[in-house]
């Protein structure tokens, strides 16, 4: 696959005329997908796809195009030549792009991920055995994800990674279910069974009469998944240079008023340990780590090539939306077996949903609890909770009111597969918070 992409890049280089330059990116996957319902296989299949996106550049004008590759060289070369001609005809009619920036210093790289995945059939058999007797609903996805970059200056970059993601629920009735996930690079049946046993235990509690809480402030524990979603909302402009310079960032108080979060909070873009490629679509290499928040204070921005050109600063290879692809939140000092004891009396939140900003300049986030959330008394789960809405600022929840983060962190791989398996991921701890505000 890598060699084929390089051959197509060489073909495109030979088709250029005059001062034309091109950049192109490759995305592909060889994936297995298995859907479950009532702990039975309902759909199983594989996806093998390869796509190439091309940008023809002349001066400060450029025109993009893309196609799906067949793997048959003559057919793919014919289609790419046709696209190149179409883009060449468009260029004279396009305006200059003042924010165009692409790598002009050749920096070729190769990162080949090790395929340590077990066969999908083995993973599926272990899932069925672990979920025996339960109404298990979910999807298992695994396989390789491949990315490439090339330009007519001779640069060639390649990245491959192999991961799995099993996203499932144990269903009770109505809107009651326990949601869980297991993702990573090395499948371990013992880890799967431990997660399944935990979900079974929560499902048994979910069958009890639910408790309804009055609006107010409660001590809460946010699971790693809930923390990932809560902090992940900051990707909507929180870490990007563009949103900072235009004053649209939800972290404006940190940038302009010196507001800080809890000293234990350290957030990074950790490309080195993520699933996303280590280069961007313009040929710039990404640093292994970009520190976004250190000791509760804002540190660095994610800078896309366009923002770098617009504001005259170096790029760090961020995506066009300048959101983290490999979110990393440092661990804390709360052991997993201490969570309920440290929570004492309060709310255990497994999942959140419908997150949005209720007051973006104040970084106030609203959302709802979802699936299995529980009321805890004296360090013991005593009842499931009906759905609640919260409205809380990041500065309170992860600032003065943050009591601690867990030692254990969970690897979370985005289960999205629209157009292709997502390469967004995170390594995230759980969080213990006091006086968390529920308003409905």
Structural domain spans, the chain:
2-206, 216-438
Calculate the alpha carbon distances from 229 to 80, 302, 304, 428 in Å: 40, 19, 23, 10
Query: Which pTM value belongs to this model?
Result: 0.94
Terminal C-alpha separation, the chain: 53
Radius of gyration of the chain (CA): 24
pLDDT reported for residue 347? 98
* C-alpha 283 chain-centroid distance: 21
pLDDT reported for residue 88? 97
How many C-beta atoms surround the C-beta of residue 121 within 10 A?
11
pLDDT reported for residue 258? 92
Query: What is the token pair recorded at 250?
Result: 């939800």
Q: How far apart are CA 227 and CA 225, in angstroms?
A: 5
Q: How far apart are CA 192 and CA 200, in angstroms?
A: 12
pLDDT reported for residue 186? 96
CATH number of 2-206: 3.30.2290.10
Strand (E) or helix (H) holding 230:
helix 224-232
Strand (E) or helix (H) holding 292:
strand 289-294
pLDDT reported for residue 174? 80
Residue positions counted in the chain? 440
Query: What is the token pair recorded at 261?
Result: 């979060």
Asked if residues 271 and 327 have their Cβ atoms less than 8 Å apart, the reply is: no
Angle between helices 120-130 and 189-206 (to 10 degrees): 30
* C-alpha 102 chain-centroid distance: 25
- Per-run averaged pLDDT (10 residues), the chain, 440 residues: 96 97 98 97 96 97 97 96 97 97 97 96 97 96 97 98 96 89 95 96 93 96 96 92 96 94 97 95 97 97 98 96 96 95 97 94 94 94 95 96 97 90 95 96
Query: What is the token pair recorded at 385?
Result: 């909770």
Asked if residues 405 and 431 have their Cβ atoms less than 8 Å apart, the reply is: yes
């Amino acid at each position: 696959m890598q060699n084929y992409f390089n051959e197509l890049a060489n073909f495109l280089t030979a088709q250029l005329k005059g001062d034309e330059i091109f950049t192109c990116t490759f995305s592909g996957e060889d994936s297995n997908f298995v859907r479950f319902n009532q702990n039975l296989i309902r759909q199983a299949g594989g996806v093998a796809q390869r796509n190439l996106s091309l940008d023809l550049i002349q001066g400060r004008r450029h025109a993009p195009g893309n196609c799906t590759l067949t793997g048959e060289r003559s057919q793919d070369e014919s289609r790419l030549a046709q696209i190149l001609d179409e883009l060449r005809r468009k260029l004279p009619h396009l305006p200059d792009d003042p924010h165009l920036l692409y790598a002009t210093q050749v920096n070729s790289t190769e990162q080949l991920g090790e395929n340590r995945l077990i066969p999908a059939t083995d993973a599926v058999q272990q899932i069925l055995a672990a979920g025996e007797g339960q109404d298990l609903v979910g999807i298992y996805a695994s396989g390789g994800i491949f990315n490439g970059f090339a330009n007519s200056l001779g640069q060639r970059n390649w990245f491959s990674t192999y991961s799995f993601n099993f996203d499932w629920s144990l269903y009770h009735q109505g809107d009651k279910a326990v949601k869980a996930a297991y993702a990573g690079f090395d499948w371990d049946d013992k880890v799967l069974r431990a997660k399944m046993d935990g979900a079974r235990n929560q499902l048994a509690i979910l069958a009890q009469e639910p408790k309804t809480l009055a609006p107010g402030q409660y001590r809460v524990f946010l699971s790693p998944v809930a923390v990932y979603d809560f902090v992940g909302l900051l990707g909507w402009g929180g870490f990007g240079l563009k949103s900072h310079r235009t004053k649209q960032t939800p972290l404006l108080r940190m940038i302009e008023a010196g507001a800080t979060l809890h000293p234990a909070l350290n957030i990074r873009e950790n490309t080195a340990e993520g699933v996303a490629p280590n280069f961007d679509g313009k040929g710039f290499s990404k640093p292994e780590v970009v520190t976004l928040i250190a000791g509760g204070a804002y540190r660095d921005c994610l800078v896309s090539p366009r923002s770098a050109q617009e504001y005259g600063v170096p790029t760090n290879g961020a995506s066009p939306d300048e959101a983290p692809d490999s979110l990393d939140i440092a661990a804390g000092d709360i052991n997993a077996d201490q969570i309920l004891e440290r929570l004492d009396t309060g709310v255990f939140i497994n999942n959140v949903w419908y997150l949005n900003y209720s007051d973006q300049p104040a970084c106030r986030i609203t959302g709802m609890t979802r699936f299995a959330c529980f009321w805890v008394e004296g360090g013991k789960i005593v009842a499931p909770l009906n759905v609640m809405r919260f409205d809380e600022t990041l500065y309170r929840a992860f600032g003065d009111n943050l009591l601690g983060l867990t030692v254990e962190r969970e690897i979370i791989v985005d289960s999205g597969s629209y157009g292709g398996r997502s390469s967004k991921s995170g390594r995230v701890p759980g969080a213990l918070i006091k006086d968390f505000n529920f308003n409905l």
